[in-house]
Amino acid sequence: MKNNVIEVKSVFKYYGEVLAVNGVTLTVFKGETLGLIGHNGAGKSTLFKMMLGLIPTTSGEIVINGTPVQGNAFRELRRSIGYLPENVVFYDNLTGLETLQFFAELKGCAHEALLPLLEKVGLIHAANRRVDGYSKGMRQRLGFAQALLGKPRILFLDEPTTGLDPEGIREFYAILHELNVQGVTVIITSHILSEIQERVQRLAVLKSGKIQALGTVQELRESVDLPLTIHVRQHGSAETLMSTLQGITFEALSVESGVAIIRCHRAQKMEVLRRLGALGNALEDVIVKEPTLEDVFLGYAGLGA
Amino acid sequence: MSTIEISQIKVIASKEFRDRIRNRWVIAVAIIFTAFALAIAYFGAAQQGEVGLRGIEVTIASLVSLVIYLIPLIALILGYDAIVGERERGSLDLLLSMPITRLELILGKFLGLSAALASATLAGFGLVGVWLSYQIGIGALYHYAGFMVSAILLGMVFLSLAVMVSVISKDRAQASGGAISVWFLFVLVYDLILLGLLVLSGGSVGETLFPFLLLLNPADIFRILNIFSTQDLQVFYGLTTVFPISLSNPWLMGAMMITWIIMPLTIALWRFK
């Protein structure tokens, strides 16, 4: 049985006349990593802030571990929640270590844990340098270290890899994987969909304050039924290929410098491959390309637009 | 109402205080206070054609007229940024995601900044006080200590107002405008309006209403608190004619100051969303 860690129950948020979050219902299970996708202004950060109890909902309720986030009892729970805001900002006059000390004191965790934490995010060499000399990537690493203070059981990460170089991104996800193994529940937002699709168990697509889709990457792909692309390289003539595939209705079929590019629906995939098999030795290479999450996302973003 | 955790207030307050020590704010303001206090103590009677030290009462009276302008201004500049600065920089969300309540955050900011201002006041005027006690006599210290305590209270009142302005302002520009308006209102405009009222009504509001109207301005409370401390000054200022002696009890005045500290903070907490 799955444990519900975060329950968002028909939440609406109005800023004056503007509807920022439009009836979101969402459950996050214990130990899962959930990706939250949406264009800028889709309501991701607003939803995050409501989940953290930073701003009130207009209507609806958010409960974490059975505790309403707007209630007084939520304070204790905050000690076990880590939050990395989008474009995290620190105090320029403090060093990296002092920054962590400040937040550690607020969270009530031991100072001995701070240097190992800086080591973990690769900032130990800059521990005693002032934050105003930090690069964007270093600030982001410090932000991540801050979110990990006090061994949180729930992590909210808003665009966590912004400003990180590929090495930094790799290290970040390695740590995230480690936490995932330890059963930490993670909610993460990102623009870089190809980066996050391999690393989350489920995805929620947010558009105009509404959840458009929710499920595993595979479920989302299948539900939108975006066409697959099949690249075929062969010795024979284009006509032979056409006649082999006769009778199948394609989305598109084109030949570019000797490579035939076929776009067809998922249901037709096996039929196409069987026919191609009939080409025998004339067939040089077949590449099947699944739609990327970007395609899915853009597909969703296009729905009802 | 949730419980208040003193430790959280302490964390915020010590950070604010440490910041002001480290960026040399405290030492800079202390030097300004020392320089002004020395100049006033020595040259304060220059208008009467003489220089040099005078009695402690007259010295305090001169210092009061300086402090009444300077301390509110410094307190407002120190505090207007407290909350709106965090909000505008984008560090407020992270701060509030910590296990801290808004009340604790406001109190921590206020107390930390108060400690910085109090340190600068004590260091700046204290140094001059020690020197005065050598020159004029140890007895002078009693009144002078009272003056310093009331100056610190005055600073705290305007810090409290600054924190309130900081909470209700949308951005730093608005907050700085608000802070300057508070200064103009209480330090310059309020007394002018009262005076105008007094003259217009031919003195008829004076009898009963006037003393209470004075209590609505913390700067006036500060003035009354210091000037009523000695008989000489009461005569010197002719204040007894408009202000009943029964209201001049320093404890009552002190309580009014404390009320003036608590009220803006309460409004700040109420408006802090």
For residue B237, pLDDT over 60 is answered with no
For residue A116, pLDDT over 60 is answered with yes
Q: What pLDDT is stored for residue A105 in this prediction?
A: 95
Task: Please tell me if residue B103 touches chain A, with a CB cutoff of 8 Å.
Answer: no
- Give the chain A residue nearest B89 (alpha carbons): A89
Q: What pLDDT is stored for residue A190 in this prediction?
A: 80
B267 CA: distance to closest CA in chain A (Å): 19
A218, A52 Cβ separation under 8 angstroms = no
The residue among A20, A22, A24 whose CA lies nearest residue A10 is A24
Q: What pLDDT is stored for residue A301 in this prediction?
A: 52
Q: What pLDDT is stored for residue B1 in this prediction?
A: 47
- Give the chain B residue nearest A89 (alpha carbons): B91
3-state secondary structure of A50: helix
Q: Who wins on pLDDT, A301 or B257?
A: B257
A173 CA: distance to closest CA in chain B (Å): 22
Please give the average per-residue pLDDT across B43-61, as a whole number: 73
Task: Please tell me if residue B102 touches chain A, with a CB cutoff of 8 Å.
Answer: no
Please give the average per-residue pLDDT across B145-171, as a whole number: 95
A220-224, A233-237, B23-27, B129-133: range with lowest mean pLDDT = A220-224
Instruction: Provide the strand spans (E) within chain B.
Output: none
The model's pLDDT over A230-268, given as tens digits with 9 standing for 90+, comes to 888 888 777 888 888 888 777 777 877 778 888 888 888
Dihedral (CA of B47, B53, B59, B63) sign = positive
Instruction: Provide the strand spans (E) within chain A.
Output: 4-15, 18-29, 33-37, 59-64, 67-68, 81-84, 154-158, 185-189, 202-207, 210-215, 228-234, 252-256, 259-264, 283-289
The model's pLDDT over A31-74, given as tens digits with 9 standing for 90+, comes to 999 999 887 778 888 999 999 999 999 999 999 999 999 888 89
Which of B22, B23, B99 minimises the CB distance to A78?
Answer: B99
Task: Please tell me if residue A103 touches chain B, with a CB cutoff of 8 Å.
Answer: yes
A124-128, B177-181, B251-255: range with lowest mean pLDDT = B251-255
Please give the average per-residue pLDDT across B216-239, as a whole number: 72
Q: What pLDDT is stored for residue A195 in this prediction?
A: 78
Please give the average per-residue pLDDT across B29-45, as a whole number: 87
A32, A26 Cβ separation under 8 angstroms = no
Q: What pLDDT is stored for residue B269 in this prediction?
A: 93
The pair of structure tokens assigned to B148 is 């310093």
Task: Please tell me if residue B241 touches chain A, with a CB cutoff of 8 Å.
Answer: no
pTM, full prediction: 0.86
3-state secondary structure of A30: coil
Q: What pLDDT is stored for residue B205 in this prediction?
A: 64
A31, A183 Cβ separation under 8 angstroms = yes
Please give the average per-residue pLDDT across A103-108, as a whole number: 94
Q: What pLDDT is stored for residue B206 in this prediction?
A: 61
Q: d(Cα A277, Cα A263) in Å, to the nearest integer? A: 18
Q: What pLDDT is stored for residue B55 in this prediction?
A: 74
For residue A305, pLDDT over 50 is answered with no
Q: Which residue has the tokens 């206090």?
A: B37
- Give the chain A residue nearest B1 (alpha carbons): A72
From residue B132, how far is each of A113, B35, B38 by CA, in Å?
52, 14, 9
Length of chain B: 273
Q: What pLDDT is stored for residue A300 in this prediction?
A: 55
Q: Which residue has the tokens 């007094």?
A: B198
ipTM value for the complex: 0.88
Q: What pLDDT is stored for residue B224 in this prediction?
A: 84
Q: What pLDDT is stored for residue B228 in this prediction?
A: 67
Task: Please tell me if residue A89 touches chain B, with a CB cutoff of 8 Å.
Answer: yes
A150, A81 Cβ separation under 8 angstroms = no
Q: d(Cα A46, Cα A54) in Å, to the nearest integer? A: 9
For residue B271, pLDDT over 70 is answered with yes
End-to-end CA distance of chain B: 15
The pair of structure tokens assigned to A20 is 């920022």
Strand partners, A259: A233, A256
**Residues in Cβ contact with A70 at an 8 Å cutoff, skipping those fewer than 6 apart:** A53, A56, A57, A62
The pair of structure tokens assigned to A106 is 């607020």
The pair of structure tokens assigned to B74 is 């410094």
A261, A253 Cβ separation under 8 angstroms = yes
3-state secondary structure of A289: strand
Element (H, E) at B106: helix B102-136
Which of B2, B91, B98 minimises the CB distance to A106?
Answer: B98
Determine how many CB atoms are found less than 10 A away from the CB of residue A88: 23
Q: d(Cα A147, Cα B94) in Å, to the nearest integer? A: 10
Task: Please tell me if residue A231 touches chain B, with a CB cutoff of 8 Å.
Answer: no
Task: Please tell me if residue B168 touches chain A, with a CB cutoff of 8 Å.
Answer: no
B258 CA: distance to closest CA in chain A (Å): 28
A280 pLDDT band (50/70/90 cuts)?
confident
The residue among A291, A282, A237 whose CA lies nearest residue A263 is A291
Residues of B in contact with A52 (CB under 8 A): 93, 97
- Chain A residues 165-224 with a CB less than 8 Å from chain B: none
